[in-house]
Amino acid sequence: MYKIERPVYDEAFIRLQLNRKEKSTTLRQRLSHQFRCSSEKAKAAALNFLPILTWLPSYPVKKYLFSDVVSGVSTGVVQLPQGLAYAMLAAVPPVYGLYSSFYPLLIYIFFGTSRHVSIGTFAVISLMIGGVVVREAPDSMFYIQPTNGTNATAFVDEEARDARRVSVAVMLTTLVGIIQIVLGLLRFGFVAIYLTEPLVRGFTTAASMHVFVSQLKYLLGVKTQRFSGPLSVIYSVKAVFSDITSTNITSLIVGLVCLIFLYVVKDINERFKKKLPIPIPGEIIVVIVSTGISYGMSLSTDYKVDVVGKIPTGLLPPAVPEFSLLPSLVTDSFAVAVVGFSIDISLAKIFALKYGYSVDGNQELIALGLCNFISSFFRTFAITCSMSRSLVQESTGGKTQIAGLVVSLVVLVVVVAIGFVFQPLPQTVLAAIIMVNLVGMFKQFRDIPTLWRTSKIELAIWLVAFVASVLLGLEYGLLVAVTFAILTVIYRTQSPKTAVLGHVSDTGLYCDVDEYEEAAEYEGIKIFCSNSSIYFANSDLYVNTLKEKTGVNPEHIQAAWKAQRKRKVYKKEEGVTHEVLPCNPVVEEQKNGELGDKASETDIFIEPLSTVHSIILDWTSANFIDSVGAKAIKQIIKEYTAVNVHVVIASCSRTLLEQLDTLQFFTGIITTDMVFPTVHDAVLHCQHRNSHQPNNLTVASRMVQHPCCIPVFVSVS
């Protein structure tokens, strides 16, 4: 138990007692301090820009090196088939997936802040790139009419098409890198907060649907056009099933066998992950075995099974992207940049929280931007971190990005020395690898019943992100989802929860009288609480709800008062008598309110309309107020004052008070002594004011302490 006795505080008294610290520095001084160079600031800047300097000098070789090497090799054998497979999603030749699995890893080691994420190709980003590439370089641009006959069927110049598509993907990646670097330098790492978790999960689930549908034609071995844009999923499914009679049975059998094998291996790895020293590398096993079978049985020539084809040996020299493609790619690059960063930072934060270190969102933006920008000169497409590979890297003992270095070396060996070995690899095998890796994303459908029970607004965000992305395409779907998520925030502030509070006896608590039996209202006082700020979008709603909840409507009281004043007054010869008139029916509907006839010179006395003499606005939850909101509050206070209802404000933060001062809120009849630091201060003030109000028509039924003391008894046990 503890007891506090102090005077009732209001804002006028507090401002007399508290002295604000004067800001001794000018803007010029602050700017000079910010840009002043010193050895400490230079060192801090270097460490921020090159996070590798924070951990590499103290790297415990004996403790970490073996684990990082094992983890790197394990992740590398997963990276190889995924790089080949995701290049198909990006609509570029498979070897460019290997390039995208090599260069970005080397760069991220120096600039990234996460120790566990595996950077490289990722299904969602690859699919977004593929949609742009197919739109800018469709097959229809490269049809060649045979010269040996007019009735011959036109065919696609695949070499020219692939070269054009690579140029588009590379230029898009360059733009993505520039955008991410600029956003990072401008400290815009917070943009990821607008991609809330339900939005990202709904969006990635929709992306997995796009990926799955896009791989059906490779699994079945049918030749269909690749679609992009709105309704592309529907068009793709229709095209596959329209041509299903031409299914290559050999391709289907090989794909289904690989699909079943990979799913079983994935399930075993998940079930026995604590017992297995390293996960079973099902993907590399499938790639090696299927490549050997394809080569030995000549699946490409004898059974018409589509294979990966030519994989050049060695690395390509750097080249400048085609900047002439830039104008048509700007919008798409923003979408890819934001989605890529969001996926990376969300996974990086999970690992950082688990292992007790921090990641910097702004530096992650810069790191991803440099990975994309620099690598694009070596013919790569946009990358981010991969959830499946990151989990492999972490579960196999990876401690730092040295594991990422080992992964890049594994990829380098394949690209430089043995890439040609994978030329007979059937494309249906890559489709099976992609489909099995979507299992984790499809499990996100389990979010729906969970969100239904916990938050229906977040469920709506999830569903809108999913449906919009499936039907409209990933770019438009993301835009619709983000817009809808922002609208839900506006909706929540426009439709806040409001309550009339009551005091819980022997405590300092004030709770909703409709929810808690122990909460009781003070006689003649209404305490109104709203859990949102007050601004242009909800100020009218705030005022209307205030009148409805308290039951005191100044307009109705004014109307009733004017109606009563028009009644005749009867006088007798012996003196003046006054007719006490009943309340107007309009007013009888009101539960609270009090009318003082100050404006009359006064031959008329009326019955009290209700017992409410004071209204307290609890602004505990208000974070800000704008000029429209301030004007609305000033107006309603004036209206209540006109009908003799006293309005005060309680629990207003210092920041909000500064905003009110800036808006010149405290002018005229509204003064700082109407603002109180707590609801209890305001209650005692209203009780004392009413008990000492001259010519008051109502009397409080309970005795209160002198206003100079506030007793608070709180049990701490």
CB 102 within 8 A of CB 227: no
Q: pLDDT of 343-390, one tens digit each?
A: 898 888 888 888 888 899 899 999 999 999 999 999 999 999 988 888
Burial group, residue 194, by CB count within 10 angstroms (0-12, 13-18, 19+): middle
- Residue of 419 and 702 predicted with greater confidence: 419
Q: What percentage of the chain reaches a pLDDT higher than 90?
A: 48
- Indicate the Cα dihedral angle 435, 120, 60, 65, nearest 10°: 60
pLDDT in the model for residue 699: 31
Give percent above pLDDT 70 in the chain: 87
Q: In angstroms, rounded to a whole number, what is the distance separating the alpha carbons of residues 482 and 199?
A: 8
Enumerate domains of the chain plus CATH numbers: 67-145+156-491 (no CATH), 498-558+609-692 (3.30.750.24)
Q: What is the pTM of this model?
A: 0.75
Question: Directed axis angle between helix 456-472 and helix 197-220, to 10°?
Answer: 30
Residue 148 confidence class, pLDDT cut points 50, 70, 90: low
- Please give the Cα distance from 232 to 148 (Å, whole number): 36
Phi, psi of 38 (to 5 degrees): -150, 170
- Return d(Cα 166, Cα 379) in angstroms, integer: 7
Write out pLDDT tens, residues 248-296: 999 999 999 999 999 999 899 888 888 888 788 888 899 899 999 999 9
CA distance 675 to 658: 13
| pLDDT at 465 > cutoff 90 | yes
Instruction: Categorize the per-residue pLDDT at 679 as very low, low, confident or very high, splitting at 50, 70 and 90.
Output: very high
Encoded amino acid at 8, one letter: V
Q: Which region among 43-47, 79-83, 311-315 has the lowest average model confidence (pLDDT)?
A: 43-47
Render pLDDT for 205-246 as a digit per residue (tens, 0 to 9): 998 898 899 889 999 999 888 887 788 899 999 999 998 999
* Sequence-distant (≥ 6) Cβ neighbours of residue 631 within 8 angstroms: 539
603 vs 387, which has greater pLDDT?
A: 387
Q: Hunting for tokens 């039924």 — which residue is that?
A: 701
Amino acid (1-letter code) at residue 22 = E
User: Which SS3 state, helix, strand or coil, does residue 400 take?
Assistant: coil
Q: pLDDT-derived band of residue 445, with 50, 70 and 90 as boundaries?
A: very high
**pLDDT value at residue 570:** 41
Kindly report, residue by residue over 36-49, the tens digit of the pLDDT.
777 777 888 888 88
Is residue 614 over pLDDT 80?
A: yes
